[in-house]
Structure 1
Amino acid sequence: MTADIDFTAFFDATPSPYLVLDRDLVIRYVNPACLRTAGRTEEDLVGKYFFDALPENPGIHDEAERNLKASLLRLLDTGEPETVVLERYDLPRPDQPDGFEERWWSVIHTPLSGPDGKVKWIIQQMEDVTAFVHSPRTRQCSMEQAAGMSAELYARARELDRLNQELRQAHAREQQVAVTLQEAMLFVPDLDRHSNIAVRYLPATASLNVCGDWYDVVDLPPDRYAVAVGDVVGHGLSAAAVMGMLRSALSAVIRAIPSPAQALEVLGLYARSVDGAMAATAVKVLIDTRSKLIIYSNAGHLPPVLLHSDGTCELLDKATDPPLGAREHHVPRPQAGVGYAPGDTLVLYTDGLIERRDEDIDTGIERLSTALAQDQALSPDLLADALLARLDVADGAPDDIALVIIRL
């Protein structure tokens, strides 16, 4: 017989600090012990984005925030519990608006799945170990000095330090593997023949340098070439693996079927058979240099921007359809064409370039268009760097970024 347990009462009564986050890392519940530990009220925390409600001390470093974000994003990606061992994360002092109080934590993140099997909630359990870290006997311990300490506490401190070092080493090894994998997956042989094309890839700042965004360039002799960008939901190695399969499939299909719409139709059917590929987006353009025509089709992706030499921008948004694999039954995808003049610039990108928290996507597209017009005289390579700087993502963004700039 299942016990009738009031879990809210349980969390309210437990002396251990707990809070609950949703998938957007917004705090939805905080127990009294957590409020006491953080020195905050429910109004300060509930309904707020975690890293806005409890910002990291900018005067120290942002490594703690990166580590916590990475832990939370890995949990959303894998559905597995995460532990962040012995991390310094200073808290704002209510009595000093610009002041922070040094705090050390051991944090456990536990996922709760919804009816669809995906992570719906994250339970964060925090243990404040600041007093222990600041203990003179903890900070200056030799084996002789430790003799007067509790053997259990000393052993725990040594074990926490060992685990922290092992986790950092494992994280560094995984990052190196991830970088190598991403570079291999984004290798585009045909790109070497296009001095008129610049590409950029920036991983999400909280990821392992490997994500689901991608780009591709395929030559279709004698006078056409195809360009694509895409975005797979999620981060980490699993998203990168799905990205690699979709990118390779589309690259092969466009060589046999030089129609962007038909190529995306085939890719959509393939995506339905690949775990993790549902709701992936992609846009494909075919550039005919003889007729000066751009033919395109869009599967749920943001519209490419065509920058004309007079500084005006045109959105390629006349052939937009749902994401890959979104339809239960096969339906032909739309396709559209637009002419261009020599010297025009075509820009394809993923959402990390323009999306901002609590901002309409149209505002981001308008900001992109304005930035393009300001630097249109630059070469594709210089324009790519200038664009990232103007949009304040040169050092990365919360989401990964793929960017392709083509001087037509």
Structure 2
Amino acid sequence: MRKPQIDYTAVFHALPGMVALLTPDLVYADANEDFLRLAGRPREELLGRYIFDVFPENPNDAAAAGRRETEASMLRVVATGERDTMALLRYDIEDPGRPGHWVKHFWSPVNAPVLGPDGQVVLIVHRVEEVTELIRARGGVGNEGGRARVLEAELYTRARELQEVNERLRRAHAREREVALALQEAMLPAPTPIGHHRAAVRYRPAVGALNVCGDWYDLVDLPGDRIAVAVGDVVGHGLGAACVMGQLRSALSAAARVADGPAQALEALGLYARHVDGAESTTVVKAFVDWDTHTLTYSSAGHPPPALLHPDGTVTFLDQATDPPLGARPEHVPRPQASTAFAEGATLVMYTDGLIERRGEDIDVSLTRLADSLVRHGHAGPEALADALLADLLLSGGNPDDTALVVIRL
């Protein structure tokens, strides 16, 4: 059977119901025929214009909140890359044929993202269903509109109450985010000096009040000209994940001081994690750097592989000692460990998945993007390189996941 050629522009304009496309700046990029017809606006009055210039809020309604709620929903979509379904909304529309005359309307809006190749939101799909007539019809026939007005008022009141509850929850979640960030900042200080070697660390929280996560880093001085470095990621969000992160980071830091190598340190952490609620499926990678032998020994519990940038500009990913995350096996099993030599002037980069991963993208594509950035900026010192990696790899509107990053000049 021959595959049909689909004209998606024609499909969009023929979609039943009101659908518009807006840029992340809330400017109309397109609208289907039903949107133009039901909104009573020709296409030239919409395209290229800011949404609230086309549809200003009713200035005669002091309690009107439609603009604030619609704008907040669309900006959440831009920030998180997630669909946002709004509660029943009253938003009056000025009659284009009678300036100054505002007509009461009730709407049921949904805003959804369209993502570009880099994972950023490039368009907002604004689908809105007008339910004004439905609300009035539910009031019945033959009662001169009395029941309709009562039902309309009740529905609007319930919607407003729901929105107030949502606003209180938003403020509570924002407070939780502040507490979690303060906790993370206290537990993720700048690293202490590691002899004459240079290191840089970075932590970037996720975008959104609910997306504080459990990413961490740790650097530990060891006897001789050696250090232990770790990067980890606790599953989950919020204050709980940050607390689990603190427990695991401290336990691994202590284990590294007495373990013979990174695998043994991760084995001890895995046993400890069995008794910490919320620690299951945590990923972490541990590396011991020995400058006397110019050897890097590492072990990974389900974590993205560290990158080793060689002085000649090539990049190697340390992926020869990878095992499942903490708590993934029902019984304790010794973890693998691998070693590799490094030349003076090489750079070790360890990170959490927020730095590289994109929704729907193969991990090999993500790692290639990281390697390309390292090659471009490899001549820079650790501090400048860390900043360059964040600038290259994080989404401009903010990432939906936390990011921890460690850069060490070997």
Superposed pair shares fold, TM > 0.5: yes
Please state which band the TM-score falls in when normalised by the shorter chain: 0.5 to 0.7
Of 24, 27, 37, the match for 1:58: 24
Aligned equivalent of 1:205: 207
SS at match of 1:199: strand
- Partners of 1:129 and 1:157 lie apart in 2 by 15
Q: Deviations over 1:70-111 (max 9, x none)?
A: 9999xxxxxxxx99767899xxxxxxxxxxxx996589xxxx
Of 365, 368, 371, the match for 2:370: 368
- Is residue 274 from structure 1 mapped to residue 276 from structure 2 by the alignment? yes
- Partners of 1:103 and 1:288 lie apart in 2 by 67
Aligned equivalent of 2:62: none
TM-aligned CA distance change 1:372 to 1:248, over 3 Å: same
SS at match of 1:338: strand
- Partners of 1:88 and 1:248 lie apart in 2 by 52
Maintained 8 Å contact 1:231/1:243 = yes
- Partners of 2:292 and 2:90 lie apart in 1 by 60
Aligned equivalent of 2:255: 253
Aligned equivalent of 1:299: 301
Superposed, 1:197-236 pairs within 5 Å as 197-208=199-210, 210-236=212-238
Give % identity: 56
SS at match of 2:236: strand
Aligned equivalent of 2:140: none
Aligned-pair CA distance for 1:235: 1.6
Aligned-pair CA distance for 1:175: 2.8
Q: Structure 2 length as normaliser, TM-score?
A: 0.64
User: Which has the larger Rg?
Assistant: 2
Superposed, 1:9-408 pairs within 5 Å as 39=18, 58-60=24-26, 63-65=72-74, 67=76, 152=154, 159=161, 162-163=164-165, 165-187=167-189, 190=192, 196-208=198-210, 210-393=212-395, 396-408=398-410
SS at match of 1:197: strand
Maintained 8 Å contact 2:108/2:129 = yes
AA paired with 1:323?
A: P
Aligned-pair CA distance for 1:330: 1.4
Maintained 8 Å contact 1:343/1:407 = yes
- Partners of 1:215 and 1:260 lie apart in 2 by 15
Q: For structure 1, which segment, 364-373 or 175-184, has the greater mean C-alpha deviation from structure 2 after superposition?
A: 175-184
Q: For structure 1, which segment, 359-368 or 56-65, has the greater mean C-alpha deviation from structure 2 after superposition?
A: 56-65
Aligned-pair CA distance for 1:406: 0.7
TM-aligned CA distance change 1:206 to 1:130, over 3 Å: farther
- Partners of 2:25 and 2:131 lie apart in 1 by 18
- Partners of 1:222 and 1:86 lie apart in 2 by 66
AA paired with 1:348?
A: M
Maintained 8 Å contact 2:174/2:210 = no
Maintained 8 Å contact 2:194/2:227 = no
- Partners of 1:338 and 1:88 lie apart in 2 by 64
AA paired with 1:64?
A: S
Maintained 8 Å contact 2:355/2:394 = no
Q: Structure 1 length as normaliser, TM-score?
A: 0.64
Aligned equivalent of 1:110: none
RMSD: 3.8
Aligned-pair CA distance for 1:159: 4.3
- Partners of 2:216 and 2:245 lie apart in 1 by 7
AA paired with 1:166?
A: R
**Count of aligned residue pairs for this structure pair:** 307
TM-aligned CA distance change 1:232 to 1:165, over 3 Å: closer
TM-aligned CA distance change 1:170 to 1:348, over 3 Å: same
Maintained 8 Å contact 1:207/1:235 = no
Aligned-pair CA distance for 1:255: 1.3
- Partners of 1:406 and 1:130 lie apart in 2 by 59
AA paired with 2:73?
A: A
Q: Which runs of 5+ in 2 are unaligned?
A: 1-14, 28-70, 92-104, 111-126, 134-148
Maintained 8 Å contact 1:232/1:279 = yes
Aligned equivalent of 1:46: none
- Partners of 2:106 and 2:206 lie apart in 1 by 27
Q: For structure 1, which segment, 335-344 or 182-191, has the greater mean C-alpha deviation from structure 2 after superposition?
A: 182-191
AA paired with 1:347?
A: V
AA paired with 1:174?
A: E
Aligned-pair CA distance for 1:247: 1.1
- Partners of 1:178 and 1:277 lie apart in 2 by 17
Maintained 8 Å contact 1:260/1:285 = yes
Maintained 8 Å contact 1:280/1:323 = yes
Maintained 8 Å contact 1:353/1:393 = no
- Partners of 1:407 and 1:262 lie apart in 2 by 25
